Amino acid sequence: MINKSLIALSLIVISGCGQNFSEGSQAYDFDQISTFDYTLDKSIQDKLESKVDSVLNPANLDKWMKHMSSKPHHGGSPWSKQNAEYAANLFKEWGYESSIETFEVMLPYPKIMKLSLVSPSKISFKLDEPPVKGDKTTAITKDLLMPYNAFSADGNITAELVFVNYGIPADYIELKRMGIDVKGKIVIAKYGGSWRGIKPKVAYENGAIGCIMYSDPKDDGYFQGDVYPKGAYRNENGVQRGSVLDMPLYPGDPLTPGYGAKGDVERLSIEEAPTIMKIPVMPISYANALPILKALSGPVAPASWRGGLPITYHIGPGPAKVNMHLEFDWQLRTVHNPVGKIVGTKYPDEWIMRGNHHDGWAASAADPISGMVSLMEEARGIGELLKTGWRPKRTLIYAGWDIEEPGLLGSTEWVEYHLKDIKDKMVAYINTDGTGVGFLGVGGSHSLEKLVNEVTSVVMDPVHKVTLQERNRARLRISNNADSERKDLRIYPLGAGSDYTAFIHHAGISSLNLGFGGESGGGSYHSIYDSYEHYTRFSDGDFIYGVTLAKVNSRLVLRLSESEILPFRFTNMSDNIQTFIESNKKLVKQIKDDTETRNRLLDQNSYTIASNPKIAYDAPERLSTVPDFNFSDLESAYKQLLSSAWKYEKSIKSNRVGNLSQKDKVLINKLLRDVEKSMTLDKGLPRRPWFKNMIYAPGFYTGYGVKTLPGIREGLEQRNWDEVSDYITEVSNALTRASMKIEKATDIINK
């Protein structure tokens, strides 16, 4: 369910320093580190990697996409099950142990979806998306679901409407200043500005009884470019489907929080499930939003709220009044996760996992089949190595996740069900989702940043014929980014939005997420217009970037599987963690400054004196004083981490590594892969114990967007001062635990 606009933003980078570290008289150079030192035979590895490259064939991606996206394949549909079997059979054909693992999860389908304007005039809206000329997939109606938001509440409600911009917390602060209350009203919000599930959640918290979301043409419609079928952008009838499950609380099956939804396990009732939305929510097109927004009066919306429709945007409330009538079937449905496995010869209990979801909202070629077919070609490439008699040292697992779109159900249930084995055995999880053309975006655990850069500095961009890293660097240079000359380009920290979530945030497994984007453009996201025809006309039509993604991921997998000592690099990790600490400290300063400014302006009565007497606009609220926070424990813990990371670098470069026994290597590798887990905390984050990673989390009020050192950052943003101090301690302890793991590994090498 990755949104392309997020991939485009993925190269935004936080500036940092601390690239070298001196201990005693010797200074070590950050740029000299390589994951090849003594732990991986470069000539053997090169042969494996180029053998995979040589068999990759874009025609396979094309053929599989055509097949898999030929019919609607949302979770629980016949074609989704067919696609799972299709992938499982191919895994088997390529030499993998193959199976389909199932779970039984709550997944409601729409039964009744009705929307009408009841005053000042009467309109009953047509809510489906009509077919377009030249794209026969868009004419398929068999097994196609009405556009809907999964996990909306049932309801038949009539109320006045209020336009709330993107419907995020900041918009409600503005509404309050305008004297507008949404209590008892239905709100209409634009898509964008946050993950969609935040909008109804915040609407409900503010007393609204229903929520309508629409795609404004300014965001992904005619304002951006020609609309489909002429161009790639959203036409007036395109609707963005999508989940509104409260995933920042916990993703996956809402009825089985924290455990696998297998067989007849105990399930919460729908009323008890805290992640199911409490009010009715529905998505509509801009053709339908236009007459509704036009019928609003009240204050004119602030300039930054206005979209691209040919109207003056008013806020309301009313006189526009709408009726929403939604009913869902609230059924348990079956997850089908195809899983292919090759058991490792030397370290069978160390697992490298790849995954991409296979379910979509309709025919869904870009999201997710484009990524799924790249994963399949990569798996086939590795299968070709098996034919030569080669076997990986570690166990490789390839999965196609089902029911991702409604809330990461297939992957989350898999992780929860296998949690003990995953914690014991999994080395890394590498995720892909929809992919397109342009720049390689990479997010993930910063202990893998070095490895990622080693791979992106050898794989070539298929159009520009420079390395992927060089192309990304050129873009950073043009935007004058402070890190454009850093040897390793930074990878972005992971929030949520795809199947890595349960791995990194719940189980504490080092994870990556990769995909091409930035030049695909378009507005077919989660509509019936995300089709094979649309993808091949406007995105990676010759599948060369899909093949390039397979080259990148097969290298990551093979280097993780073949390195005698796992290729984690904690110098990179420490350097990034330092930027997270610094940005949290900056946030403290900014909140203090903003608080003082606000309160001074209130003392001077400036808001009132400067206001336009013809427009009702209240002064903002006075803010409580921000206390001083003590970051010194966190800074010492960071220094210890940095020191441990460099001592480890020094030892791994020594020739002692070549003489380690297999038993020692197993011990070292266990310690290395436990570093990420050691930075999790069982009690988790405030009010959401499912999220256990102390370094990264999706924002409670942003959804997809990441929060680094989330316990501290969200405490600051939400002004919960006690939590800030509490989590400064928890993060310090997490860094100390990580240092101890690294030091133990170093001790074994040096003994």
We find the least distance from the C-beta atom of residue 76 to Zn ion, in angstroms, to be 16
Q: How does DSSP assign 607-657, residue by residue? A: HHHHS-TTS--PPPPP-PPPPP---HHHHHHHHHHHHHHHHHHHHHTSGGG
Q: Which span (173-181, 290-298, 367-375, 645-653) binds Zn ion, by CB under 5 A? A: 367-375
Q: How does DSSP assign 403-450, residue by residue? A: S-TTTSHHHHHHHHHTHHHHHHHEEEEEEE----SEEEEEEE-GGGHH
CA–CA gap between residue 195 and residue 706 (Å, rounded): 11
Q: Which span (35-43, 66-74, 425-433, 533-541) binds Zn ion, by CB under 5 A? A: 425-433
We find the least distance from the C-beta atom of residue 553 to Zn ion, in angstroms, to be 16
Query: Smaller CB distance to Zn ion: residue 407 or 710?
Result: 407
Q: How does DSSP assign 208-265, residue by residue? A: -SEEEEE--HHHHSTTTSPBTTTSSB--TT----EE---TTT--S-TTSTTS---TT-
CA–CA gap between residue 502 and residue 504 (Å, rounded): 6
**Residues from 312 through 341 that contact Zn ion (CB under 5 A):** none
Q: What is the DSSP letter of 28?
A: E
We find the least distance from the C-beta atom of residue 367 to Zn ion, in angstroms, to be 4
We find the least distance from the C-beta atom of residue 433 to Zn ion, in angstroms, to be 4
**Residues from 582 through 611 that contact Zn ion (CB under 5 A):** none
Q: Please, what's the largest Cα pairwise distance for the chain?
A: 83
We find the least distance from the C-beta atom of residue 526 to Zn ion, in angstroms, to be 9
Query: Smaller CB distance to Zn ion: residue 10 or 323?
Result: 10
Query: Smaller CB distance to Zn ion: residue 62 or 367?
Result: 367
CA–CA gap between residue 716 and residue 251 (Å, rounded): 24
Residue 1 binds to Zn ion (criterion: CB under 5 A): yes
Helix (H) or strand (E) holding 580: helix 570-603
Q: Which span (60-68, 433-441, 477-485, 598-606) binds Zn ion, by CB under 5 A? A: 433-441
Structure-block tokens of residue 674:
């436990």
Q: In what order do the strands lie in the sheet with 210-214?
A: 123-124, 110-119, 321-328, 155-163, 186-190, 210-214, 281-284
We find the least distance from the C-beta atom of residue 1 to Zn ion, in angstroms, to be 4
Closest CA to 751 of 618, 649, 657, 639: 657
Window 92-131: contact mask with Zn ion (x via CB under 5 A): ----------------------------------------
Query: Smaller CB distance to Zn ion: residue 167 or 406?
Result: 406
**Residues from 154 through 173 that contact Zn ion (CB under 5 A):** none
Q: Which span (9-17, 364-372, 382-390, 500-508) binds Zn ion, by CB under 5 A? A: 364-372
Q: How does DSSP assign 373-394, residue by residue? A: HHHHHHHHHHHHHHHTT---SE
Closest CA to 677 of 474, 447, 517: 447
Which residue in 367, 413, 564, 723 binds Zn ion (CB under 5 A)? 367
Query: Smaller CB distance to Zn ion: residue 1 or 373?
Result: 1
Beta strand pairing call for 186-190 and 210-214:
parallel
We find the least distance from the C-beta atom of residue 687 to Zn ion, in angstroms, to be 27
Query: Smaller CB distance to Zn ion: residue 431 or 574?
Result: 431
Query: Smaller CB distance to Zn ion: residue 367 or 461?
Result: 367
Query: Smaller CB distance to Zn ion: residue 1 or 113?
Result: 1
We find the least distance from the C-beta atom of residue 356 to Zn ion, in angstroms, to be 8
Which residue in 49, 101, 359, 433 binds Zn ion (CB under 5 A)? 433
Query: Smaller CB distance to Zn ion: residue 79 or 204?
Result: 79
Query: Smaller CB distance to Zn ion: residue 368 or 381?
Result: 368
Is residue 489 within 8 Å of 483, Cβ to Cβ?
yes
We find the least distance from the C-beta atom of residue 335 to Zn ion, in angstroms, to be 15
Q: Which span (127-135, 149-157, 286-294, 366-374) binds Zn ion, by CB under 5 A? A: 366-374
Query: Smaller CB distance to Zn ion: residue 469 or 527?
Result: 527
Under rule CB under 5 A, how many of the chain's residues touch Zn ion?
4
Q: Which span (244-252, 363-371, 390-398, 660-668) binds Zn ion, by CB under 5 A? A: 363-371
Structure-block tokens of residue 427:
């080395």
We find the least distance from the C-beta atom of residue 405 to Zn ion, in angstroms, to be 7
Query: Smaller CB distance to Zn ion: residue 370 or 678?
Result: 370
Query: Smaller CB distance to Zn ion: residue 295 or 366?
Result: 366
We find the least distance from the C-beta atom of residue 425 to Zn ion, in angstroms, to be 27
Is residue 85 within 8 Å of 91, Cβ to Cβ?
no
Other Cβ atoms within 10 Å of 55 Cβ, number: 15
Residue 368 binds to Zn ion (criterion: CB under 5 A): yes
We find the least distance from the C-beta atom of residue 578 to Zn ion, in angstroms, to be 32
Closest CA to 502 of 398, 434, 441, 426: 426
Q: Which span (136-144, 146-154, 202-210, 430-438) binds Zn ion, by CB under 5 A? A: 430-438
- Angle at which helix 371-387 crosses helix 78-93, to 10 degrees, equals 20
Coarse DSSP helix, strand, coil percentages of the chain, rounded to the nearest 5 percent = 40, 20, 40
Buried b / exposed e along 358-383 (16+ C-beta atoms within 10 A): bbbbbbbbbbbbbbbbbbbbbbbbbb
Window 513-552: contact mask with Zn ion (x via CB under 5 A): ----------------------------------------
Q: Which span (115-123, 361-369, 372-380, 550-558) binds Zn ion, by CB under 5 A? A: 361-369
Q: What is the DSSP letter of 695?
A: S
Query: Smaller CB distance to Zn ion: residue 535 or 727?
Result: 535
We find the least distance from the C-beta atom of residue 536 to Zn ion, in angstroms, to be 18
Query: Smaller CB distance to Zn ion: residue 35 or 498?
Result: 498
Q: Which span (54-62, 296-304, 431-439, 618-626) binds Zn ion, by CB under 5 A? A: 431-439
We find the least distance from the C-beta atom of residue 287 to Zn ion, in angstroms, to be 26
CA–CA gap between residue 505 and residue 491 (Å, rounded): 17
Query: Smaller CB distance to Zn ion: residue 1 or 675?
Result: 1
Q: Which residues contact 596 (CB under 8 A, 6 or more apart)?
A: none
Residue showing tokens 């590795």: 382
Beta bridge partners of 429: 353, 511
We find the least distance from the C-beta atom of residue 500 to Zn ion, in angstroms, to be 12
Calculated CA dihedral for residues 154, 157, 161, 166, nearest 10 degrees? -10
**Residues from 717 through 736 that contact Zn ion (CB under 5 A):** none
Is residue 286 within 8 Å of 298, Cβ to Cβ?
no
Assign 3-class secondary structure to 275-320: CCCCCCEEEECHHHHHHHHHCECCCECCHHHCCCCCCCCECCCCEC
Q: Which span (298-306, 427-435, 450-458, 515-523) binds Zn ion, by CB under 5 A? A: 427-435
Residue 379 binds to Zn ion (criterion: CB under 5 A): no
We find the least distance from the C-beta atom of residue 107 to Zn ion, in angstroms, to be 16
Binding residues (CB under 5 A) for Zn ion: these are 1, 367-368, 433
